[in-house]
Chain A
Amino acid sequence: MPIEVRDLTHIYNKGSASESVALSGVSLRIEDGEFVGLIGPTGSGKSTLIQHLNGLLKPTSGHVLVDGRDIWEKGGSLRWLRQKVGLVFQYAEQQVFEETVRQDIAFGPRNLGLSEREVEARVKAAAAMVGLPADLLQRSPFELSGGQLRRVAIAGVVSMQPQVLVLDEPAAGLDPKGRDEVLSHVQDMHESGMTVILVSHNMEDVARLCERLLVLNQGQIVANGTPREVFSRADFISEVGLRAPDVVALMEKLRERGWPVRTDVVSVEEAFAEIARELGQAKGARASP
């Protein structure tokens, strides 16, 4: 179920004094099973863009096609789309409202009109997918830790069994352990076949997790490529108000000092291997004469 965005423009408060252009002429395509990272400075239009993907916002002009079908072509309910494209908002725990965790995760499936048995099965599956122990399901959501609550909120979207999952900063504001847990479950979901779109300000996370990055700046897509390609253009990255992962910066410093290391690394492991290789060569060079 590929998603295609064609020449999308969105203007808030069009025609009033507070008119502001959030997106202008954005086009992109996301294939089945991809893990795409969406990065860009604050106010670049990331949140606006992802809200178009499940029809929460209507384009001022342009088209959003899901499965080759323009979602705004025919009027009527967009519930089918909301089921296919799950959107997890930033600080998603704010959407939790039910008395028990189970009830809250069941909210989405119930809205789909599923039978109670199917709802229960989906709740269990979703809870397992985000790593919530079964005994938490009876508890009140307001007794849980921040990381647990965030995962309840994500499960509340996952339980609708979307084919595409869009997450806006799913790890923001969590402690390191919570971060790792949430992100590793996102990774698992992707491996189980879901298309994942991850919005994040954490360059290490997107470099490590995503297969492709889209860089948004001032409402336009300014780069589209693998993390390796995108982050190797260090000047460009800082120009749009982002920064490359620390390991890239490290490699560049080493190069400045005359080490002929590669700079297109995206993870600590890669950087380690590259430095070890270089050290080994240096040692070899010294030992050989």
Chain B
Amino acid sequence: MMSSGVLMGQYYPAESPVHSMDPRAKIAIAVLFMVVLFVGNNFYAFVVMGAFAFLAAVMSRVPAGLLLRGLRPIVFVMIFTMALHLFLTPGPAIFKVGPITATWSGLVQGLFIGVRLVILIMFTSLLTLTTSPIELTDGLEDILKPFTRIGVPAHELAMMMTIALRFIPTLLEEAERIMKAQMARGADFESGNMMRRAKSLVPLLVPLFVSAFRRADDLAMAMEARCYRGGEGRTRMRQFRLHARDFLAFALIALVTAGVIAVRVRFGPVIPRGL
């Protein structure tokens, strides 16, 4: 009820080859892709990586609008870094504004950084758009499992994430209820300066924390009552299995990686002729 429907992750449910991929494969590919993105340092590499990201986006059947919306928060950062590169890279000048000079090499570098950021954000949001939060945490747990030997609490981390995700809507609903209860007592959450507003949150936050702690206690008790004792020997209802499509994706990303590395070794940080 209430104003729920907000914030169930940003998962976009659909049926597509990307959606049905093994989440472990998706996470691994996303991580590898990010590394490769920063290895690639010339035009050809960006063409290859851009094409790969584009292919993945098209196959995922996620509306382009949703993907582009993920870019909104970084627009400012992007413009800022591009401007910095444009003006701070030494080289032949395009134009001068007082003491600062815009350079051709700065323009190219700025564009590279910009494109890199766009591809990075689009590709990683594709991961969360096509993988449900539960799949994501389960996949993460599996990937982290080998590291339990060196003290990484893989299962605990995943369980914490799952619980956090599960309780986001609950806490939102509760916050709304407490807010209304305080408004019924004349509380005002909307007007006043920064200080006043921050202070007006106390009647909301204290009860919210109190109940969150109580809820946490109850949940811990309920889990223990059902013999929860961590991840050891625990099995899962959904078992992940790698399919042909996952291997295909692996092969593709391997190809991209090899290509980008080869291009880097062969050409170095080149700009295609004509630019």
Contact = CB atoms under 8 A, between A and B. Distances in A.
Given A51-B180, A56-B180, A107-B203, A95 B3 contact: no
Contacts of A87: 181, 184
Contacts, number: 68
A59 interface: no
A227 to B, nearest CB: 27
B2 interface: yes
Interface string A89-112: 100101111000000000110011
Contacts of A86: 184
B233 interface: no
Nearest to B200: A111
Say what secondary structure dominates the interface of chain A: mixed
Contacts of A92: 181
Interface string B205-240: 011001100000000000000000000000000000
B114 to A, nearest CB: 35
Contact of A12 (B2, B182, B203): B2
B183 A96 contact: no
B183 A95 contact: no
Interface string B184-200: 11111000000000000
A44 interface: no
A192 interface: no
Given A12-B1, A12-B2, A97-B203, A160 B186 contact: yes
Interface residues on B, range: 20 to 34
Nearest to B4: A18
A108 B207 contact: no
Contact of B185 (A18, A111, A142): A111
Contact of B5 (A13, A142, A160): A13
B64 interface: no
A92 B2 CA distance: 18
A288 interface: no
A9 interface: no
A69 interface: no
Interface of A: 12-13, 16-18, 20, 51, 54, 56, 77, 79, 82-83, 86-89, 92, 94-97, 107-108, 111-112, 142, 156-157, 160
